[in-house]
A and B are shown apart, each in its own frame.
Chain A
């Protein structure tokens, strides 16, 4: 018996994009005339994706929106056909692509449960045996005989999840289940998924919650724009993904301008051990080596820096003038060294900006806004963006014993 549950080989999926008007005779006729523009109307949601999933293991799928995660699950569930390549799955598959997606609002919970079971290929008898467990797991009591349009969104999702897991498939596909439902239901889902793993079942999970996906997955597949960028051990691939999304953030927000008499040619970020890094730890020293090239010699100048959060909000900024460091002139290549003895930022991603301008603020030589993304790991989980050194002390109690 083979130990492979899912095998994906060189799979690509192309979508044809339609004009906003949708599918009408007019667009069809117009498209005939507008041939040649065809390639711009294509989208490769997946491009040459290959991987295997061993039986009894859990694969987590991560990537930004539009990376192709949901398309991949749809291909595995069999609702879509790949444009190129092959997929092989062994055993029955139950997909939670969208919880309760097949529910009809006018039918009761009971009717929908049986219909959903039939869609997944179970007979009425098999569903009869599972029915009580489903109602119990979903915890919706007498509402089971009400039309589902009267359900709260939580009840809807609970019933959908209950059906999908009680169907007891060999392979379970889960798309963003953990993003819905309240905390107690999420715990219940996670417990059920853990049981699933103990029973040596195979799971494929999509989640944007990196902490959860790291704990439930044996392997992680990282997709971006339809391509596999990483596949392997959770901690390693998630680290890779975080670095990648930091770079994305900074390239999205990066701005650069100035007269370019002096240009900032680069910045090196060094940790306490003096190694170059893009990931630093709260409380440790960070040294930044800022390289410049004064192509035209200039007079009194000022270097500045700013630290912003991912949304571009300034957290902190400072410059040499404020710190009373005088730089009478600049010429040729050189390096400014900036040391932050104790990095007091909360866990997250921060964008560093640098600038060099004349001391009278009249000429802006070069400014790099949001050009460098740095991840901060924090062992202390304080509130807010920055940490202020503080001391707590309890005074001796004045109450009489």
Chain B
């Protein structure tokens, strides 16, 4: 672990350049450029708002939907990009020697920069539509847990995809299922009655780290009631486990990357 931190600090110039590269390349030669970071989620929100609220008459408040989509989008971007973190840089991996960890990490961080900007936009939106902010103190905890989860998942996926290209296809399907298991386009209060009825369902539901992370964001930004701390802690614990597991998988597989590419 200490070695890893040293790797990252001695190569921080490289890391920041890779992050900048990832951000630049994503929007190269598109007229709207960086705006797409926001336009993607905005259109997603409009589509969901139309079908959920207008067609299906599902009473989801807009701020809940907006926060759900923006927060989810960060994980979704990492899931989509990370499969290619190593195989998309095969030339670099085969020809140059540097900590391979920087490749997935730079993707997670580039998406994190995008996410922070979209949080700013969301803050402006929330100020306009009016509901008072919640207990902002929960925000750092939400961000850190979210970052740890995205990092862990990305490290594991990019390493496994080098050896097994099925990973990138499975990820797509898995992302979809995860989306609906997470209270993105519905509020936690919509599942609360079920959790009360079947006490075991609560811990099971919060084993999905995104459930707890999203609850933290909504508590911080919308003032939604915070679920039981034991459930939140469970989500955080699972995030940490995923982070450690992802890192372990990556470190185990990375010596053989160049052989496989």
Partners in one complex: yes
A255 contacts the other chain (Cβ, under 8 Å)? Answer: no
Which of B1-50 touch A at CB < 8 Å?
A: 10-11, 13-14, 17-18, 21, 24-25, 28-29
Residues A24 and B259 in contact, CB atoms below 8 Å apart:
no
Q: In the complex, what distance in Å separates the CA atom of A121 from the CA atom of B13?
A: 9
Residues A24 and B166 in contact, CB atoms below 8 Å apart:
yes
Q: In the complex, what distance in Å separates the CA atom of A164 from the CA atom of B25?
A: 24
A98 contacts the other chain (Cβ, under 8 Å)? Answer: yes
Residues A101 and B95 in contact, CB atoms below 8 Å apart:
yes
List 8 additional contacts besides A28-B164, A118-B11; criterion CB under 8 Å: A15-B259, A23-B163, A24-B166, A79-B94, A79-B258, A81-B256, A102-B95, A114-B17
Q: In the complex, what distance in Å separates the CA atom of A181 from the CA atom of B31?
A: 36
Known A23-B260, A123-B13; contact A79-B95, beta-carbon cutoff 8 A:
yes
Q: In the complex, what distance in Å separates the CA atom of A77 from the CA atom of B96?
A: 7
CB-defined contacts of A123 to chain B, threshold 8 Å: 13
- Contact check: which of A24, A81, A104, A120 meets B96 at CB < 8 Å? A120
- Contact check: which of B11, B25, B259 meets A121 at CB < 8 Å? B11
Q: In the complex, what distance in Å separates the CA atom of A348 from the CA atom of B93?
A: 40
Known A22-B165, A102-B91, A107-B25; contact A119-B259, beta-carbon cutoff 8 A:
no
Which of B111-165 touch A at CB < 8 Å?
A: 162-165
Residues A81 and B97 in contact, CB atoms below 8 Å apart:
no
Residues B255 and A97 in contact, CB atoms below 8 Å apart:
no
CB-defined contacts of B13 to chain A, threshold 8 Å: 118, 122-124
B92 contacts the other chain (Cβ, under 8 Å)? Answer: yes
CB-defined contacts of A122 to chain B, threshold 8 Å: 13
CB-defined contacts of A115 to chain B, threshold 8 Å: 14, 17-18, 21
CB-defined contacts of A119 to chain B, threshold 8 Å: 14, 92, 96, 98
Q: In the complex, what distance in Å separates the CA atom of A23 from the CA atom of B244?
A: 26
Per-residue CB proximity of B230-261 to A under 8 Å, as 1/0?
A: 00000000000000000000000001101110
Known A23-B165, A77-B95, A77-B96; contact A106-B258, beta-carbon cutoff 8 A:
no
Number of interface residues of B (CB under 8 A): 29
CB-defined contacts of A86 to chain B, threshold 8 Å: none
Residues A74 and B94 in contact, CB atoms below 8 Å apart:
yes
Residues A79 and B96 in contact, CB atoms below 8 Å apart:
yes
Would you give the shortest CB distance from B30 to chain A, in whole angstroms? 12
A111 contacts the other chain (Cβ, under 8 Å)? Answer: yes
Residues B17 and A118 in contact, CB atoms below 8 Å apart:
yes
CB-defined contacts of A79 to chain B, threshold 8 Å: 93-97, 258
CB-defined contacts of B97 to chain A, threshold 8 Å: 77-79, 93, 95
Closest A residue, CB atoms, query B13: A118
Q: In the complex, what distance in Å separates the CA atom of A80 from the CA atom of B257?
A: 8
- Contact check: which of B18, B21, B258 meets A74 at CB < 8 Å? B258
Known A106-B25, A121-B11; contact A97-B95, beta-carbon cutoff 8 A:
yes
- Contact check: which of A16, A78, A102 meets B92 at CB < 8 Å? A102
Residue contacts A-B, CB under 8 angstroms, 10 given: A16-B259, A24-B165, A24-B166, A79-B96, A95-B96, A106-B24, A115-B17, A115-B21, A119-B14, A119-B98
Chain A interface size band reads 20 to 34
Q: In the complex, what distance in Å separates the CA atom of A145 from the CA atom of B166?
A: 39
A25 contacts the other chain (Cβ, under 8 Å)? Answer: yes
Would you give the shortest CB distance from A26 to chain B, in whole angstroms? 8
CB-defined contacts of A25 to chain B, threshold 8 Å: 164, 166
Would you give the shortest CB distance from A5 to chain B, in whole angstroms? 16
A-B pairs, 9 with minimum CB distance: A78-B97, A118-B14, A101-B95, A25-B166, A97-B95, A80-B258, A79-B258, A101-B91, A81-B255
CB-defined contacts of B17 to chain A, threshold 8 Å: 114-115, 118
CB-defined contacts of A81 to chain B, threshold 8 Å: 255-256
Residues A24 and B21 in contact, CB atoms below 8 Å apart:
no
Would you give the shortest CB distance from A247 to chain B, in whole angstroms? 32
Closest A residue, CB atoms, query B162: A23
Would you give the shortest CB distance from B204 to chain A, in whole angstroms? 28
CB-defined contacts of A77 to chain B, threshold 8 Å: 95-97
Residues B259 and A101 in contact, CB atoms below 8 Å apart:
no
Closest A residue, CB atoms, query B28: A106
Q: In the complex, what distance in Å separates the CA atom of A95 from the CA atom of B92?
A: 12
Q: In the complex, what distance in Å separates the CA atom of A102 from the CA atom of B256?
A: 19
Q: In the complex, what distance in Å separates the CA atom of A119 from the CA atom of B25?
A: 18
Closest B residue, CB atoms, query A16: B259
Would you give the shortest CB distance from B12 to chain A, in whole angstroms? 9
Q: In the complex, what distance in Å separates the CA atom of A140 from the CA atom of B169?
A: 42
CB-defined contacts of B18 to chain A, threshold 8 Å: 115
CB-defined contacts of B91 to chain A, threshold 8 Å: 98, 101-102
Max count, chain A CB within 10 A of own CB: residue among B13, B17, B163, B164: B13
Would you give the shortest CB distance from A167 to chain B, in whole angstroms? 11
Closest A residue, CB atoms, query B97: A78
Residues A104 and B25 in contact, CB atoms below 8 Å apart:
yes
CB-defined contacts of A106 to chain B, threshold 8 Å: 24-25, 28-29
CB-defined contacts of B256 to chain A, threshold 8 Å: 81
CB-defined contacts of B14 to chain A, threshold 8 Å: 115, 118-119, 121
Closest B residue, CB atoms, query A80: B258
CB-defined contacts of B255 to chain A, threshold 8 Å: 81
Known A77-B97, A118-B11; contact A101-B164, beta-carbon cutoff 8 A:
no
CB-defined contacts of A101 to chain B, threshold 8 Å: 91-92, 94-96
Closest B residue, CB atoms, query A124: B13
Q: In the complex, what distance in Å separates the CA atom of A114 from the CA atom of B20?
A: 12
Q: In the complex, what distance in Å separates the CA atom of A329 from the CA atom of B162?
A: 70
Would you give the shortest CB distance from B95 to chain A, in whole angstroms? 4
Residues B93 and A107 in contact, CB atoms below 8 Å apart:
no
Closest B residue, CB atoms, query A25: B166
Would you give the shortest CB distance from B173 to chain A, in whole angstroms? 13
Closest A residue, CB atoms, query B20: A111
Per-residue CB proximity of A85-121 to B under 8 Å, as 1/0?
A: 0000000010101100110101100010011001111
CB-defined contacts of B92 to chain A, threshold 8 Å: 101-102, 119
Would you give the shortest CB distance from B115 to chain A, in whole angstroms? 23
CB-defined contacts of A107 to chain B, threshold 8 Å: 21, 24-25
